[in-house]
Every structure is written in structure tokens, then in C-alpha cells.
A and B are shown apart, each in its own frame.
Chain A
């Protein structure tokens, strides 16, 4: 394997030099095999496919390399995201986000407390239900509910037509609204921790 500097990699891949592209492919293939070791869904065929997708993603994103790591580390990082996005989406791509969140939380008040010791938890749960149902925007609620139902962010982002960063901002704003809403309801962090044994 050739020892290349970051500048070499950028120049040669920028020119789509054949040997450098082949070496990149080898680096990604080796990295992905290690990164995905032990995952049943990541068989040889899957690793071949995501290696190829990773090569394309790296070649298309050369200008986003910041230069503060080895080029190969950055390239493997990009390929790992490609691979995990694909792994997660494979499980969820047939699940409709609308179906997943169609039943708004506000329509489901929590069950009455069973024992007095759960009063505090029920109060926090009720406040969370109320804030999710009435304070959050429809988009915030949709993204947040889907995320905590386990839908992968990449899939939520695709179905909502958002970038990963934009989706993160949406759910971050939702969490901040929840935090403020709980505080406004007189429920502070200690009470939330105590209610849920956190």
C-alpha cells in the first residue's frame, strides 16, 4: 500500500486517478469489514455494495474534508455513515412516518396512577403528553415521536424532506420546548429525575 499524504489523496482522487481510486476502495472495504464485524445483515455482498457507495460519496465530497485528520480516517468515517444509514433504512424503509405517528399523543391521556408512589411519575407523564400534544408544532411532534419510536434519523429525514442537520434542529427545538414547558408547569429537572429514577 502506498503511503500518501492528505494532499496526494486529494489531488489524485480529484483527478480520478485509477490507482488512487482503487486504493481508496481497498481502504474503505477493509475499514467497513472491521466496522461492521459481527453484524448479521452486513454480509460480503452488503459490504461490497456500501464500499462502492462509500467511494462515490467520498469522491463527491472531497471539498468537505477539513484536513484535521488522516484522509483515510475521514474517508472511512464517511463510508461508515453510508453503511449504517443503509443498514438502518433497510429495516424501516417500508414504514410510513405518517402511519407511525398518526395517532397524536394528546389523544392518549396516561392511565390513572396505580399506586401513590407513582403519582409524581404520572404527573410528569401527563405534563409531557400535554406539551407534546399542544405546544410542539406538528413537524416537531412528528419527528420526535418517530425518533423515540426508533425510526432511524436518515429515514425520518428522507420522509420529511430534511437534511440530517435540519432534522436534528427540529427535534432539538422540540426537546427545548419540552424542557421549558415542564419548567413552566413547575416541574424542574430534579423532579423529572426522581419521577423516572434517572
Chain B
């Protein structure tokens, strides 16, 4: 099965976003907790952490998990 024109368009969008120094999904998982706490608390984000969070733009699965994590943290108030 080949990629349809719509799928190729989506791939083209990702090709345009491609950077030489991307991190993988397992690596992102290491940054996700501290990034989520800062986002949930509306705190400033350090540059290395912002750079790591660039993974969310390129990885819909990690982005979906991150939104779910924020939902888990938000209703948790200050956290446990």
C-alpha cells in the first residue's frame, strides 16, 4: 500500500519541520515530568527544556500523552 497524496502532504509537513538534532520518544519521556510541572504552574521554561519540548511538534503520540498528563496534573492542584 503506498502513501496517499494526503499522507504524503502530512509527511511533507514533517519533512519541513525536520531538524538534525531531534530527540526520540524515550528521551522525551525523561523531560516530560518537569516540563509538565512548569507548564501546569505557568512557570518559565529553561532553554534546554524548551528545545526538548520541540519533540511534541514532531510526535503526535507524545503530544497526545503530554496533554493527558497535563489533565492528570491540573486537577491534582498542587500535586501529591
A and B part of one assembly = yes
Which residues of A line the B interface, CB within 8 A?
A: 1, 27, 30-32, 34-37, 64, 66, 68-70, 72-74, 76-78, 80-81, 84, 88, 100-105, 107-108, 110, 121, 124-125, 128-129, 132, 144-145, 148-149, 152-153, 163-169, 172, 175-176, 178-179, 182, 189, 192-193, 195-196, 198
Cβ of B24: which chain A residues have Cβ within 8 Å of it? 164-169, 172
Decide yes or no whether B47 CB sits under 8 A from chain A: no
Alpha-carbon distance between A78 and B26 when the two chains are bound, in angstroms: 10
Contacts of A193 in B (CB 8 A): 16
In the assembled complex, 23 residue pairs joining A and B whose CB atoms fall closer than 8 Å, in A order, are: A31-B72, A32-B72, A68-B33, A69-B33, A77-B29, A80-B65, A84-B65, A88-B61, A101-B1, A128-B12, A145-B2, A148-B8, A148-B11, A166-B24, A167-B24, A168-B22, A168-B24, A172-B18, A176-B18, A178-B11, A179-B16, A182-B15, A196-B12
Query: How far apart sit A27 and B72, CA to CA, in the bound complex (Å)?
Result: 10
Using A36-B68, A100-B1, A163-B26 as known contacts, say yes or no to A175 and B15 having CB atoms under 8 A apart: yes
Residues of A within 8 A of B25 (CB): 153, 164-165, 167-168
Could you say which of A64, A73, A81, A153 contacts B37, with CB atoms under 8 Å apart?
A73
Decide if the interface of chain B is mainly helix, strand, loop or mixed. Answer: helix
Question: A164 to chain B: which residues have CB within 8 Å?
Answer: 24-26
Assess A70 versus B72: contact at CB under 8 Å? Given A84-B64, A196-B12, A198-B16.
no
Using a CB–CB cutoff of 8 Å, the interface residues on chain B facing chain A are: 1-3, 5, 7-16, 18, 20, 22, 24-27, 29-30, 32-34, 36-37, 59, 61, 64-65, 68-69, 71-76, 79-80
Known contacts A84-B68, A105-B2; is-contact A192 B16 (Cβ 8 Å): yes
Asked if B3 and A145 make an inter-chain contact with CB atoms under 8 angstroms apart, the answer reads yes
Given A73-B37, A102-B1, A103-B1, decide whether A198 and B61 contact each other with a Cβ distance below 8 A. no
Contact A103 B2 (CB under 8 A): yes
Given contacts A30-B72, A35-B69, A196-B13, 12 further A-B contacts (CB under 8 A): A66-B34, A68-B33, A80-B68, A103-B2, A128-B8, A148-B8, A168-B24, A175-B11, A176-B18, A178-B15, A189-B16, A198-B12
Q: Which of B12, B22, B65, B71 has the most CB of A within 10 A?
A: B12
Measured CB to CB, the closest approach of chain B to A38, in angstroms, equals 9
Contact partner of A34 among B2, B64, B76, CB < 8 A?
Answer: B76
**Bound form: Cα–Cα A172–B14 in Å:** 10
Check B73–A107 contact: CB distance below 8 A.
no
